[in-house]
Amino acid sequence: MLAPTEQAKSCETLLNEFRRDRKPAFGEKLIFSGVGTRDVYNISAPFPDGGEPVIAGRVEDRDSEASEVMFFVNRRGEWVPRPGAPVFRLQDPFFAFVQGELVFGGVEVYFDGNDPHFVTSWRTVFYRGKDIAGLKPFAKGPLTMKDIRLVDLRNGKIGVFTRPMMVDGARALIGYVEIADLSELTEQVIDDAELLRHQFLPEEWGGANEAHLLGNGMVGVLGHIAWMENNNIRHYYPMAFGFDPATRQSSPLKLLAERSMFPEGPAKRPDLQDVLFSGGLVRMEDGNACMYTGVSDAESHTIVIEDPFLEYEK
């Protein structure tokens, strides 16, 4: 059973708790090549396709929000574009294996027709197929909603985590709904998801980045929590929580890393220096996990941490 969340904690409180209890860990930058001078960040964790691990990454010029998502494979220690793989005009890619299919998605961004640097809206879009080469579009989320994630459940259904903005006086909340088949993933179903309360303060926000079905039927959620200080300076932290699909209860949030645990490097803008975007996590048999993280909207790193989901399987 989960100890349910009863009251939201601020990012500051969570960070202080994390610093008090954290174990030593330090990240490592991943090397991407074959994309010219563009940055690769907000990557997925590696997933198998065609007999080899593949990473999906957001590829972007430093001074632009116009992104492509490309698929990369490791060649002699560097991640390079996979020959012949499709390229999508999306941001912040993710994947899941759902009911025997690969589900891939990202954020589709819409720009002002008169100003290619001004974003007017965005939405999450979904593709499905037996592999990367066979991906076909099948669903879209509501406008202005990022961080919609899917997970196979032990009851045979599909769990859907959502992230509506400006709801119930909060900047954003996480929602949850179950569907029986991918064909049921509609904007209305996503909009009607039950909201998970007491996860964020009204002025802070967060979202799910990846969901893992655990051995006992619980779901481990990898996500992020964020706050903004004066001059729109952003602070993003990877976090995790446990979720019980049967009771719809979620555990308190816990932070997994902070910016100082990664090598110094460039930021897309000064206000994004303290941004970690947790793209995916690979659980290992030794009780640790490797987290794949976008750093400062300019680079991609990995870090080995204690498996955050082990306590939810007890």
Residue 6 above 90 pLDDT? no
Question: CA 149 to CA 126: how far, in whole Å?
Answer: 10
| Count of structural domains within the chain | 1
pLDDT per position as a tens digit, 147-183: 999 999 999 999 999 999 988 888 999 999 999 999 9
The contacts of residue 100 (CB under 8 Å, 6+ apart) are none
Mean pLDDT of 279-285: 97
Question: CA 309 to CA 110: how far, in whole Å?
Answer: 36
Residue 2 pLDDT level (bands cut at 50, 70, 90): low
Task: Please name which of 65, 115, 114 lies closest in space to residue 90, comparing C-alpha atoms.
Answer: 65
Question: CA 140 to CA 101: how far, in whole Å?
Answer: 17
What is the extent of the structural domain holding 50? 11-313
Residue 263 above 70 pLDDT? yes
pLDDT per position as a tens digit, 219-246: 999 999 999 998 889 999 999 999 999 9
Which residue's entry shows tokens 């949030």? 253
The answer as to whether 115 is a domain residue is: yes
The answer as to whether 270 is a domain residue is: yes
The answer as to whether 3 is a domain residue is: no
Residue 3 pLDDT level (bands cut at 50, 70, 90): low
Of residues 117 and 75, the one with the higher pLDDT is: 75
Report the CATH number that the domain containing residue 202 is assigned in CATH.
2.115.10.20
The answer as to whether 82 is a domain residue is: yes
Report the pLDDT value the prediction gives residue 4, as an integer from 0 to 100: 56
Residue 136 above 90 pLDDT? yes
The answer as to whether 1 is a domain residue is: no
Q: How far apart are the first and last CA of the chain?
A: 9
Model-level pTM? 0.95
